[in-house]
Amino acid sequence: MRESTVKILDDKDMEFVETLRSLGVPRNVATLITFLANVDEASSREIEMGSDLRQPEVSIAMRTLRDNNWIEEKEIKREGKGRPMKVYSLKAGIEEVIKHFEEEKLHESAQAMESIQRLKQLIST
């Protein structure tokens, strides 16, 4: 049997997750981003153990990260038979991820302000 260590999220990481969630980021996506920002690379199993997410939650969150081109995925052959193991790393820097959410919120805010201005125009005519 081999021994391995897996990093787990601490209180500061959980605050980061909760702050992402306050921006409307789903819990599993926020947790996955936070976990990957703290490791060089990790297998799905390591992500599950370290982030306390279930396999389906990891898969769903991974789709969001792929869609945004934030994740790098590579396969590592295992000894003997069996499928290669996939290992993931955050391709985008955490600053780039934060910038994405900043731009998203600025856009939403601008749209809301346009709607408010339109309402003002409609009541004044």
What's the pLDDT band for 121 if we cut at 50, 70, 90? very high
CATH code of the domain made up of 11-92: 1.10.10.10
Q: Which residue type sits at 34?
A: T
How do the domains of the chain map onto residue ranges? 11-92
Segment 96-122 mean pLDDT: 95
Query: What residues contact 52, with CB distance under 8 A and at least 6 apart?
Result: 8, 9, 31
Instruction: Tell me the pTM.
Output: 0.84
Give the per-residue pLDDT at 56: 94
Contact 25, 101 (CB under 8 A): yes
19-28 pLDDT tens trace: 999 999 999 9
